[in-house]
Structure 1
Amino acid sequence: TGSVLTVSPSWLSPGASVTLNCEVEHPSAGWSFYWYKAVPDLSEKSSSYELLPDGSGTAQDSYIIHGQTHTAGYVCRAGRGDPEYHTDHSQPKFVWSADVHSAASLTVSPDRVQHFTSDSVSLTCEGNFTEWRVRKFSEDGRLSDCRRMTGSTCDINTSKSDTAVYWCESGSGEFSSAVNITVQNDGNGPILVSPVHPVTEGASVSLSCSLRTQKILSNVFFYHNDKLIQNDPRGEVKISAVSKSDEGFYKCQYSGRESAQSWMSVKGADSSSSPVWLMVGLVSGVSLIIILLLLLYCCRQSKFPDETRDVTYSLIKLKDFEKRRKHHKPEECVIYSEVKTGAAEDSLMYAEVKQAKKEKAKKNKGKSSPAADAAVYSEVTSGSSLSQ
């Protein structure tokens, strides 16, 4: 007994959910289902299988993967009974992303979707990996590897059977973005020249039509989703700023012959540039704040130039002691306090706080008390005089 896996959708938008469905040949109650990710194993020219999170023995025959962003392969199988009997693993099924993956990518030369028969086409895997294979999923559902692989490049001498989806797999288990290749079977018919990879919103793109014997055609009609774009024939269609509404199927018509139609995908603005602009914004914001603080400081200094020199002196305490057990009254003393309460230019304000005179003790007649000659000052550096 085997299992059959279906995947929906086959082509995804970055971040979309993917639904896996597993069917057994003879469905009945009591089956449990197991869900796996197919990991490329180039040494065995196959794939190994890793269980997906919570993918062991589910009662439901479906499994949803959230936030899928890149091309990936999946496998399922079913089991029941005690001890449990398992079906064979299903054939791997793939969900493809056309969005370029930063770790691994696939380039096509010539850079177009459609090609004539017997064209020489090169598919090159790019990324920091030493081992690669190019995989091909044909229109008839067959999965195969590139037959002529040199290093990281697959060379194809195109035939109708080469119409397929292609992608790269690295020895480290990475998948590249996937591309469609369409081979025109009519040797006398035109092909549409359109980009292989998705076009970024806001970018410009040109679509043209070509014959095997004539690369540049002028009297061409272009169609978008089977609707004529312009009534007058032209050599190409130029879209100066691509938007999501430009996504869809395109084809061209020349001398009554139509090309095959190809899908042009449109993706949002490159998200990889967002951190760069975020960093630029943060640096600019911090710099602006520093400049404003410096300007405020300079303005404050020019308005209150002597503020930093404001000092308050105050006589804290005066005492005099003679020998032990003898009390001596302090001599006359004067306490001054200098307080600057505003931008008073160079003027000073003195306030007499206390002035007292006492008769001098007879035993100390003719001698000055230490308190009369000593003063203790406390230096206090004030802040803004406006806040005093």
Structure 2
Amino acid sequence: TVLAVVKLQHSWSQIFTGETITLRCEIQGGEGKVWKYEWTAPNTNSPPTSSEYRISRVSVSHSGDYRCRGSSDYLLTGWSDAFRLTVSYKPKAKLRADNTAVPVGGSVTLTCSVNPSSSSGWKYYWYRDEKSSEALTTQDAVFHSNGQISVSQEGLYRCRGGRGNPVYYTEDSQSVRIGKTVTASNRPVVTLYPNWSEIYRGETITVRCEIHGGDTEWDYEWETNSRIKAPNQNEYRIRSASSSNSGNYRCKGRMKSSQHKTTEWSDSVTLTVSDNKPRPVLTVSPSWLSPGASVTLNCEVEHPSAGWSFYWYKAVPDLSEKSSSYELLPDGSGTAQDSYIIHGQTHTAGYVCRAGRGDPEYHTDHSQPKFVWSAGQFDSL
């Protein structure tokens, strides 16, 4: 059986506008004969009569079905199966950088790709700075596997893909600015003011980026996985915090005088904002009163080291409301100590504490009342 087949003379199947392509008509089983060829093709009234159908600068209108057949002496093949040619619009290269600043003594890896990724056969060309049309060489960069290079010079980089003969180029990628990291001595530090890594909903806290050394003026950049993003200033004051502010915070500086020069990223600092308002636990000792003994109250907050001052109250029962009101004990406002001593109590009485911290001051809930019992009656002032 003699059979005509249309084949594309490229190792890639996805074709773009502007490329030069060649389709070939192969007569299988017709070896040794001299053949004349006939083609049917979209967008032409005068197809070639040779075995090759070459299209220079192919366009979208060349998309469609291509068939061929051959004749030799008295032999005529049938029409081949249709070869479906799809021509897509010119693709654009995409450039990705694993860092936007060259670390001290190091390099940045750039990756170039062509969309759609299913297209193949590309070689990549790299350029630095807008005016340059000279592709980078091994003197300018370290070339890795196809599509990746490492660079240690600052500049504005772009790339494009090319394939075929003559070479067909994609559109240039977007340019990416690669800066240089200044010396490690300028590495910033993130600090929390006050220095509480766990705070509560409604508290106020400042996240600060500090860069020591020299009198350089900096612009600041923050990176955080919290739901609310930090502004690009050296201080981020969070008023009335919520769980949306929870996350890791790190920062870097960018020189005002030379925007391509940056510090390294700081280490991350974790801020946790709890939605639960804390309630301290009050303990009284002793809980049964001996005549003339003093009573010690202890107020314990979940994170005792973190800047709390304490407020001490007597619970005064209101029998008509079946509730209590709280009356501040003498010198019981904002003590630094988490304990308070009562002298000379003779009657049964209830006590309550709460804690506060910060500026403006944030208060915990009141503790549950605790009672000191006496053989006498209930103490009502």
TM over 0.5: no
State TM-score, norm by structure 1. Answer: 0.32
Highest CA radius of gyration, 1 or 2?
Answer: 1
State TM-score, norm by structure 2. Answer: 0.32
More helix by share: 1
More strand by share: 2
